[in-house]
Amino acid sequence: MTANILDGEFVAATVRNRVATEVAELARRGKNVGLGTILVGEDEASARYVEMKHRDCAEVGISSAHLHLGQGVSTAEVLEAVQEFNARPDVDAYLVQLPLPNGVDEQVVLSAVEPSKDVDGLHPFNLGLLVMGRPGPLPCTPAGIVELLTHFGIDPSGKHVAILGRGLTIGRPLALLLALKRPKCNAAVSVVHTGIANPELIVRTADIVISAAGSPGVVKASWIKPGAVVVGAGTSWEGRRIVSDLDDEVASVASWVTPRLGGVGPMTRAMLLVNALEAAKRNLGS
Ligand code: GUN
């Protein structure tokens, strides 16, 4: 078997089209949508991700603002940038690109983002809404994965989903989201992580495997139940080359698989635009 491709570039383009139509509609009503990004330090990959987010904004008619702080800044200096975006009326929503350099307290920074402007859904208040199953901005990668699966008619409801990784931006919120009693979720979720001795024993029983481990090729074909759906959400860099969590051979066992490039990444960025649009709509209504 050779797996079908979960083409995130294609699905993200349809999401962007939808967003562009609504952004234009808001503009006709006199409301511009503005997204902000805060980049701290000189990490090349983070800078590239942020650049792509601004390019996406331009494509759909969202105006974007950017603050870049140097490598050696303190938590207090990052908080000043956060306060600036909290106060700016032209910024409906914004994100602080992660990871932050050592010495900057991520939890303090994320907690200082005004929850109504939290385009990443990573403020404790918004994560609390997710825990409670109430509406709020969803973290972009988990939301993008659900959107990607849905587009290809893959419904996690009633299925066993194994997630590799328990990080703040993907694994932990994705587990919460997929376990919620709501359409396109409603799954039995296992989270495997570095504290588990033989993750493959659990992964092998899953109908859907989502890897957010950030460990090159960690998911082997032998870990996959034949016909399972496999999503690679974790990436790492070998020089300037992005490497997937999924070993290439996974595609010979799975029914659906993400490509090394153009799977989850574009979906994450597309959901960022969706969240920015939703924040702007809330601002219009308030
Ligand atoms: N770095 C990797 N993923 C993310 C994300 O979803 N949001 C932010 N802000 N930074 C990231």
132 lies in a domain? no
Please name which of 146, 139, 133, 148 lies closest in space to residue 120, comparing C-alpha atoms: 139
- Does 260 lie in the same domain as 147? yes
Report angle CA 156, 215, 275 to the nearest 5 degrees.
50
Beta carbons of 284 and 30 less than 8 angstroms apart: no
- Does 114 lie in the same domain as 160? no
Catalytic annotation, pick one of 56, 92, 120, 245: 120
123-164 pLDDT tens trace: 999 999 999 999 999 999 999 999 999 999 999 999 999 999
Q: What percent of the chain shows pLDDT beyond 90?
A: 95
Mean pLDDT throughout 244-265?
A: 96
pLDDT band (50, 70, 90) for residue 235:
confident
Let me know if 181 is a catalytic residue: no
79-102 pLDDT tens trace: 999 999 999 999 999 999 999 999
249 lies in a domain? yes
Considering the entire predicted model, what is its pTM?
A: 0.96
CATH of the domain at 40: 3.40.50.10860
Distance CA 64, CA 55 (A): 9
196 lies in a domain? yes
> Which mutation among 38, 78, 97 tests ligand 1's pocket best, with the greatest number of atoms within 8 A of CB?
97
194 lies in a domain? yes
- Does 213 lie in the same domain as 103? no
Task: Quote the domain boundaries for residue 98.
Answer: 29-118
> Which mutation among 120, 235, 272 tests ligand 1's pocket best, with the greatest number of atoms within 8 A of CB?
120
- Does 217 lie in the same domain as 106? no
Distance CA 216, CA 123 (A): 29
In the prediction, which pLDDT does 286 show? 54
Distance CA 230, CA 166 (A): 17
* Residue at 66: amino acid letter: H
Atom 5 of ligand 1 has which residue's CA nearest to it? Answer: 169
**Total domains present in the chain:** 2
Ligand 1 pocket, residues with Cβ under 6 angstroms:
95-98, 120, 140-141, 169, 268
pLDDT band (50, 70, 90) for residue 233:
very high
Q: Which 3 state secondary structure label does DSSP give 31? A: coil
Mean predicted lDDT score pLDDT of the chain: 96
Helix axes 8-28, 44-60, angle to 10 degrees: 50
215 lies in a domain? yes
Give start and end residues of each alpha helix (H) in 187-246: 199-203
1 lies in a domain? no
CA 252: distance to chain centroid?
27
233 lies in a domain? yes
Let me know if 97 is a catalytic residue: yes
In the prediction, which pLDDT does 202 show? 98
Let me know if 43 is a catalytic residue: no
In the prediction, which pLDDT does 283 show? 87
